[in-house]
């Protein structure tokens, strides 16, 4: 199972892995939603924040044939983890975990149907708008870089680049406008997450993973533990980058290096990607979402809070 370390966790972690399931909202946005719901119900804990990003844990499993199945498990069979949570810290993590799901949680409004503009997920709609803007820029860049199969490369990477850029743009605006401390909180939540987080993941998903892969739980469980360990590192790094004085520049610089490596590893394309191109992509994404993301985010908060209550998923006692 090939694994790679990548510093810009949301913007570029999916760039050249076409089979990787797309995220919904970005990690900082999920953390913000969990924090707001927690505060509205008395208080919020760092375990809730980490739980809110944890369903995306298996996105780090680049190239693994079971990655998609595991992603589906955490986004649709999330109650498995909730049901295994016994202690207060585990229940806090499970509360955040449940807030993320794609069935009725935060990712539903990102991927399936926006609340403000129903019929298409907010991030998906914005992704399509951004892709149309980016296509000629990326095409020209690849042609000037000597890439021969430009159409194939664009078809494979453009939707993913656009999707990830939109998520990151919303994260950046949330960290700028709604909660300037969310990057720091996300980094701290990852750094201090409870020791039982990977154990809960194994209890919930190792058996199904093993059955699908035709192996044993003794083999599946360490793979889940390793994925969570890597994911935890990336969430801490991403939160730290969002906390920088100029987070766009920080993300662009780190991401440009990573994208060049991934293009070479995944598609065999050797081309140096300038940080300016990454920054331009992010700034364009920000322009596309800055006027309406806040309304969708507020509606999503109200929606997720009501769904958690209707499904009987409550916070641990303070």
pLDDT digits (tens, 9 = 90+) for 146-168: 878 888 888 878 888 899 899 99
pLDDT at 4: 31
pLDDT at 8: 38
Of 116, 95, 113, nearest to 30 (Cα)?
95
pLDDT at 164: 87
pLDDT at 271: 67
- Counting Cβ atoms within 10 Å, is residue 302 exposed (0-12), middle (13-18) or buried (19+)? exposed
pLDDT at 3: 29
pLDDT at 121: 96
pLDDT at 113: 96
* CA 281, chain centre distance (Å): 18
Give the phi and the psi of residue 269 in degrees, each rounded to 5. -100, 120
Helix (H, G, I), strand (E, B) or coil at 148: coil
C-alpha to C-alpha distance for 172 and 126, rounded to whole angstroms? 15
Of 107, 127, 143, 86, nearest to 304 (Cα)?
107
C-alpha to C-alpha distance for 141 and 150, rounded to whole angstroms? 10
- Listed as ranges, residues in the chain with pLDDT below 70 are 1-23, 42-43, 257-271, 316-318
| Side-chain half-sphere exposure of 262, counting CA atoms within 13 A | 25
Q: What is the pLDDT of residues 96-147, one digit of tens each?
A: 999 999 999 999 999 999 999 999 999 999 999 999 999 998 898 888 878 7
**pTM, two decimal places:** 0.89
């Amino acid at each position: 199972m090939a694994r790679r370390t990548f510093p810009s966790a949301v913007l570029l972690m999916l760039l050249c892995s076409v089979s990787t399931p797309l995220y919904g909202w970005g990690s900082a946005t999920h953390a913000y939603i969990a924090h707001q719901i927690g505060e509205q119900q008395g208080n919020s804990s760092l375990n809730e924040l980490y739980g809110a990003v944890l369903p995306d844990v298996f996105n780090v499993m680049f190239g693994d044939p079971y990655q998609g199945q595991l992603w589906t498990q955490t986004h649709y069979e999330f109650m498995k983890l909730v049901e295994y949570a016994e202690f207060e810290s585990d229940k806090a993590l499970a509360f955040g975990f449940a807030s993320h799901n794609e069935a009725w949680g935060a990712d539903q409004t990102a991927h399936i149907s926006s609340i403000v503009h129903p019929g298409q997920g907010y991030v998906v709609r914005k992704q399509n708008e951004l892709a149309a803007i980016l296509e000629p820029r990326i095409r020209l860049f690849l042609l000037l870089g000597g890439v021969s199969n430009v159409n194939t490369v664009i078809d494979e990477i453009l939707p993913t680049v656009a999707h990830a850029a939109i998520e990151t743009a919303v994260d950046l605006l949330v960290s700028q406008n709604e909660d300037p401390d969310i990057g720091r909180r996300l980094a701290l939540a990852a750094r201090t997450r409870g020791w039982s987080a990977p154990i809960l993941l194994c209890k919930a998903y190792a058996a199904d993973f093993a059955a699908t892969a035709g192996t044993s739980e003794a083999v599946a469980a360490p793979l889940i533990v390793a994925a969570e360990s890597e994911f935890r590192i990336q969430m801490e790094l991403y939160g730290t980058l969002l906390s920088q004085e100029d987070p766009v520049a920080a993300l662009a610089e780190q991401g440009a290096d990573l994208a060049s490596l991934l293009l070479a590893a995944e598609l065999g394309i050797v081309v140096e990607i300038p940080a300016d191109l990454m920054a331009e992509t992010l700034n364009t994404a920000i322009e596309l979402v800055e006027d309406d993301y806040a309304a969708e985010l507020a509606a999503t908060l109200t929606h997720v809070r009501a769904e958690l209550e209707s499904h009987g998923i409550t916070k641990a006692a303070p």
